[in-house]
Structure 1
Amino acid sequence: MGTNNKIAILGAGESGVGAAYLAQQQGYDVFVSDFGPIADHYKQQLQDWNIRFEENGHTEAEILNAAEVVKSPGIPDKAPMIKSLLEKGIPVISEIEFAGRYTDAKMICITGSNGKTTTTSLTYHILKNAGLNAGLAGNIGKSFAYQVATERFDWYVLEISSFMLDNMYRFKADVAVLLNITPDHLDRYDYKMENYAASKFRITQNQTAADYFIYCADDAETLKVLEGKQMAAQQLPFSIEKQIETGAYLDQDKLIINVNKQHFTMSINELALQGKHNIYNSMASGIVAKVLELRNETIRESMGNFRNIEHRLESVGKVSGISFINDSKATNVNSTWYALESMTTDVVLILGGVDKGNDYGMLKDLVKQKVKAIVCLGKDNKRIHDAFEDDVEVIVNTGSAQEAAQVAYHLAEKGDTVLLSPACASFDLFKNYEDRGRQFKAAVREL
């Protein structure tokens, strides 16, 4: 730790507060600083633990006096405070990097532009069903650092975003999963796809020949990076387009996994998660399970009885024969593409919110095939109108989840699906995508 044992934590959300607790437990002099207000329950925790903190601004002298800084994933490297720290040569790391030092548990790390929460949850579900002593953390659930401080797990299943990876240096994944790379958050990567792809591939850094790298062999961006890359880890691809010797593939409607002479097969019709994108997610989780040499019976049972996470293609129920689906977690165009691709009925699509420079072009074909009306849910819907006015007869603007649900209900007919899959962030009308999803579900229940 050296003579300077001061550590500053920037951001007092789930990851920051968890990191503060672990740092205090490890004997650091901890100071937490948040540029905005701190939520009451996190403030209460910091007070209960006697950890110094500030909100609504940074005291530069205090932070620049730290030996190391743990920053929340949401803070960009372009933030003035981060620039000052880097200029002074003070290391800035992620919560995952920090917490990883204090556990010898094995790490299963899952990243990708889409599907990572579902795949992480499914993988954790399989491990728990197999009786493994496993924790679930990262971008999901309780803070990794807090669990390292308070639990003793043998395994962690971590959902890792590119923002977390950017500040991870020595941390190593024993099993790394990269689901796909599609344009997202490009504003954080100088609008260069190669920068974003390089960030995703940091999931493989520090891996050795004893480790595993699981990836999608149908993903063009992943293959592009792999072409020029030396990998120490054992590579296990998965594909629904071609046969794979070691990894996973689809043979008609059979999902087949071959790993380390371990063989697994299951009909895709028996999977709890349906739709093409979910076959990929199930393949990735299945390969992890076979790497761990879990029993086929356990894997098959787990993949068959898994319940998807809230706000990700979540069935809200039927009203007058119309199905309502909450996919509020779809905050980018690609996620909405996956949602539409899995629909088997006519759709009334609820779109909109804070547009991150979206290219709606990739949705056009699916919208023409499946969408009978679009209900906009956002303050500025001009780009949605411009993108789809030639493809859909009805495009309506609404200003609340309740109004959107009511309008969509009246536009739909028996047998149709009303799909909330916004392709946008939620901050114009809601606190976050969870708030948007919950308000939508409440509105459906009132119909």
Structure 2
Amino acid sequence: MKRLVILGGGESGLGTALLGKAKGYEVFVSDKGTIKEKYKNVLINNEIEFEDEQHTESKILNADIVMKSPGIPDKAPLVKQIRDKGILVISEIEFASKYTNATIVGITGSNGKTTTATLTHHILKQELEVGLSGNIGESFANQILEKNYPNYVLEISSFQLDDIVDFKPHIAVLLNITPDHLDRYDYKFENYINSKFRIALNQTKEDYLIYDADDEVINEWLMLNKIQSTLLPFSLTRVIENGAYLDKENIKITIDNNQIIMPTANLALEGKHNIKNAMAASTVAHLLKIRKQTIRESLENFQGVEHRLEHVLKINKVQYINDSKATNVNATYYALESMDTPTVWIVGGVDKGNNYEELFPFVNEKVKAIVCLGVDNEKLMSTFSNMVDVIIETQSMNEAVKIAYKLAESGDSVLLSPACASFDLFENYEDRGRQFKDAVRNL
């Protein structure tokens, strides 16, 4: 019996444990932190051995295979020990994909992954049986065990791609690449770029790579590296023969001389970046033979994603917007770009080596006041204090929202778009977004 050790008892760890057990592995789950009660109960009910608040090396280093949670860095001493012993370390998507023959759509990029994955799933589910998983929702492994859909849309992070071996989506989508998570990649942008392109690592010419042809980083990599996939670029600025492009107010998608045209006038999501997300999702749908009418209707009735430019409430003619999912500078760039009113901007958290320069034009033009929300706000203070009249430090969401409420006048907006990770004051970006919404509702 092969021994499967799982590091991390979260959603992906639990799903892998259940699938592993069903496939005949001897399973052990180990988490340095605390495993949630509901997950513990599932492990106990399924008679799966586990530990939390510690890693017992003797029970880990005898593994045949280790699945590590994407949150655990390669630099962790335990991971180094495992690799030194020649034990294979994989991610959940690698493990789970061995047990399905489903058509997989894998979506990655620095920004827009969740929106594009959710939108793609929203279109496909009108005509196909399809699961949504990966970096979002219920784990891929557990869905394969319980639902076994013939199709999956997976949102995939670079951390999940770092630990794949044979994983291969039939359709890969690469939305964009901007510096993010560099603390995990030795502060080398090229390491992060290579990590993202692993999504196409095992693809053949029968598979597809849909990508943003306006992204210089992606274009440069494709010029210098060989790739087997059939390429389907999308662009806002030039005509694309095979792929998607914007022609005045219409998205035109051509695959093997079969063209469909989508008007952008009634897209549910606003902003240039969302036209790109819609292009990517529609190209996937066109490849999978979804009817044009279905694609069009789905694009027009899509509800959007929680914590992504989510309009919370209007109070005294001030709009409060929750963009807690903006965990890097580029995401905040899109948020500020889409603002058309004077803005009180709530920003801050764990800085991943951010360079705020690209935000300067928007801050000068649109931001009237900045509320810093983090344990350490020094970099934000020194970067922006010359650009705005008012910049204030806070240490809690309630305080930040109350100050923003005082600073905003009729016709303004209050935007939570942190540009940073959330782990200094919050459990995760969802927790941060919910606290923002609660604080706004309590004003």
> Is this a same-fold pair by TM over 0.5?
yes
Q: Distance in 2 between matches of 1:124 and 1:233?
A: 22
For 2:48, the equivalent position in structure 1 comes to: 51
Q: Paired residue for 2:206, among 210, 219, 222?
A: 210
* Aligned residue in 2 for 1:12: 9
In the alignment, which residue of structure 2 is the partner of 1:188?
184
1:99-158 deviations in Å (ceiling 9; x for gaps):
0000100100000000000000000000012x2000000000000001111112010000
**1:126 aligned residue:** 123
1:279 to 265, 275, 279: 275
Matched, 1:115 2:112: yes
Matched, 1:228 2:224: yes
* 2:42 partner letter: Q
Structure 1 CA distance for aligned equivalents of residues 196 and 137 of structure 2: 21
C-alpha distance in 2 between matches for 1:283 and 1:84? 44
Instruction: Name stretches of at least 5 consecutive residues in structure 1 with no aligned partner.
Output: none
The aligned counterpart of 2:244 is 248
Offset at residue 229 of structure 1 (A): 1.9
> 2:371 matched to 1:368?
no
Q: What is the CA–CA distance in structure 2 between the aligned matches of 1:193 and 1:314, rounded to whole Å?
A: 30
Cα distance, 1:216 vs. partner?
0.3
Report if aligned partners of 1:325, 1:419 keep a CA contact under 8 Å in 2.
yes
2:258 is equivalent to residue 257 of structure 1 = no
The TM-score with structure 2 as length reference comes to 0.98
Computed over aligned residues only, the root mean square deviation of the Cα atoms, in angstroms, reads: 1.0
Counterpart selection for 2:266 from 246, 270, 288: 270
The correspondence for 1:163, drawn from 148, 159, 163, is: 159
Q: Which residue of 2 aligns with 1:294?
A: 290
Tell me if structure 2 keeps the 8 A contact 1:260–1:291: no
Contact in 2 for aligned 1:262/1:293 (Cα 8 Å): no
| 2:405 alignment partner in structure 1 | 409
State the Cα distance separating 1:364 from its structure 2 match.
0.7
Residues of 1 paired with 2:427 and 2:93: CA distance? 25
> What TM-score do the two structures reach when normalised by structure 1?
0.97
Question: In terms of mean alpha carbon deviation, does 286-295 or 136-145 score higher?
Answer: 286-295
Q: Is the 8 Å Cα contact of residues 276 and 341 (structure 1) preserved in structure 2? A: no
Residue in 2 aligned with 1:197? 193
In 2, Cα distance between the equivalents of 1:237 and 1:388? Answer: 37
Cα distance, 1:35 vs structure 2: 1.2
Q: What residue in structure 2 maps to residue 344 of structure 1?
A: 340
Could you give the per-residue CA deviations for residues 350-374 of structure 1, whole angstroms, max 9, x where no partner exists?
Answer: 0011111211111111111111111
- Partners of 1:342 and 1:262 lie apart in 2 by 33
* Equivalent of 1:65 in 59, 62, 72: 62
| In the alignment, structure 1 residue 395 sits paired with structure 2 residue 391 | yes
Say which SS state the counterpart of residue 265 (structure 2) adopts. Answer: helix
One-letter code aligned to 1:9: I
Equivalence for 2:94: 97
How far the C-alpha of 1:264 sits from its partner, in A, is: 2.2
Partner of 1:22: 19
CA drift of 1:189 comes to 1.0
- Are residues 1:439 and 2:435 paired? yes
Are residues 1:135 and 2:131 paired? yes
Q: Map residues 313-332 of structure 1 onto 2, 5 A cutoff.
A: 313-332=309-328
Indicate if the aligned counterparts of 1:114 and 1:180 stay in contact, CA closer than 8 A. Answer: yes
| Aligned-partner Cα distance in 2 for 1:393–1:257 | 47
Structure 2 unaligned segments of length 5 or more: list them: none
Amino acid at match of 1:90: I
Deviation at 1:269, TM superposition (A): 2.4
Q: Is the 8 A contact 1:19 1:99 kept in 2?
A: yes
Query: C-alpha displacement at 1:287, in angstroms?
Result: 0.7
- Tell me which of 75, 79, 98 is aligned to 1:82: 79
Query: d(CA) in 2 for partners of 1:38 and 1:408?
Result: 36
Task: Give the AA of the match of 2:89.
Answer: V
